[in-house]
């Protein structure tokens, strides 16, 4: 484990409210950790709050924010960060991540929009990340976001991500599906892009499915099973960085829990294969 990696391990699943009851019967060990959007659970009490507490007592958790809007021109939402910090302390949550994007401009826009890939944006975003980290008292992880246009682009996507992470001294939430989606939509090589990222700074990873709008257009929906190119890229990532903790995202079109657990099991199989290959390499070297 690197000093950037969250204190979770194995194969995880994003916890959605619709899954609270169905997941209650899942066998121990089928899911290693979970993740929630803190905005959906802060100050939730009653029956929902009790059910959520049972999960945070059973599983390690990470937080994946939806509304910090790290690239917005609006002032940083300091009150939200303070509430997130309290929520994480209350539930023993292992780390906090956000999207490298923005979702507000004098009010919430209810979508994740791309930050211009410019030097000025690097400095602006990095300063806001450092402020957020100071408030939380820990590093945060930024997710490589899906995007459908690149306004005012001066840097490549990879150059932008690397520069922000370096200047902010933050971590990366590596989204495998977003690399696949962006590589198709913007015509670049997914593996080459993966190799260009600071993989030693990855806190954990996401994998998900997407929607085929057209042959050359994919939409990041988290509403479908993971596809073969994403599994292949995940295997490449593990070869480069080891079996980093990885979480399955599914936001709608929920299949039976058995299918979700099977996809989580596929993540674990890739991780075990990586560990076995590494052990065989070490044995051969002796």
User: Is-contact 128 95, C-beta < 8 A?
Assistant: no
pLDDT confidence of residue 19: 96
DSSP letter assigned to residue 256: -
**Domain extent for 235:** 11-285
Residue 175 lies in a domain: yes
111, two tokens: 């979508």
How many domains does one find in the chain?
1
Per-residue exposure over 78-88, b if at least 16 CB sit within 10 Å of its own CB, e if not: eebbeebbebb
pLDDT confidence of residue 105: 61
Angle at Cα 76 formed by Cα 134 and Cα 129, nearest 5°?
45
How far apart, in whole angstroms, are the C-alpha atoms of residue 116 and residue 155?
A: 9
* Segments in the chain forming alpha helices (H): 46-58, 78-91, 119-136, 157-168, 176-186, 190-196, 228-241, 257-285
- φ, ψ at 129 (rounded to 5°): -65, -45
DSSP letter assigned to residue 4: T
Can you tell me whether residue 102 is helix, strand or coil? strand
| Secondary element (H or E) of residue 149 | none
**CA-to-CA separations, 285 to 28, 44, 45, 236, in angstroms, rounded:** 36, 54, 55, 22
Q: What pTM did the predictor assign?
A: 0.94
pLDDT confidence of residue 160: 97
Looking at residue 54, which CATH number applies to its domain?
3.20.20.150
211, two tokens: 């929607």
Residues in the chain where the model's pLDDT stays below 50: none
Residue 4 lies in a domain: no
User: Is-contact 63 38, C-beta < 8 A?
Assistant: yes
Residue 2 lies in a domain: no
């Amino acid at each position: 484990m690197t000093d950037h990696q969250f204190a979770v391990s194995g194969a995880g699943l994003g916890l959605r409210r619709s899954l609270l009851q169905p997941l209650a019967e899942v066998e121990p060990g089928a899911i290693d950790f979970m993740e929630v959007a803190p905005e959906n659970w802060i100050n939730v009490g009653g029956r929902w709050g009790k059910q959520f507490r049972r999960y945070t007592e059973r599983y390690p958790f990470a937080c994946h924010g939806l509304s910090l809007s790290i690239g917005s021109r609006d002032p940083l939402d300091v009150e939200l960060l303070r509430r997130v910090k309290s929520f994480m302390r209350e539930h023993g949550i292992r780390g906090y991540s956000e999207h490298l994007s923005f979702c507000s401009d004098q009010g919430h826009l209810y979508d994740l929009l791309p930050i211009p890939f410019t030097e000025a944006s690097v400095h602006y975003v990095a300063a806001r990340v450092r402020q957020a980290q100071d408030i939380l008292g820990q590093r945060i992880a930024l997710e490589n976001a899906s995007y459908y246009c690149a306004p005012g682009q001066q840097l490549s996507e990879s150059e932008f991500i690397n520069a922000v992470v370096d200047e902010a001294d933050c971590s990366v939430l590596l989204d495998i599906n977003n690399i696949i989606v962006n590589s198709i939509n913007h015509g670049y090589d997914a593996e080459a892009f993966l190799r260009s990222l600071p993989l030693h700074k990855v806190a954990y990873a996401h994998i998900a499915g997407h929607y085929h709008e057209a042959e050359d257009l994919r939409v990041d929906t988290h509403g479908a099973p993971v596809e073969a190119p994403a599994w292949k890229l995940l295997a490449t990532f593990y070869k480069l960085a080891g079996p980093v903790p990885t979480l399955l995202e599914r936001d709608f079109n929920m299949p039976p829990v058995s299918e979700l657990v099977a996809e989580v099991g596929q993540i674990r199989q890739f991780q075990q294969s990586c560990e076995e290959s590494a052990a065989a390499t070490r044995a051969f070297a002796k």
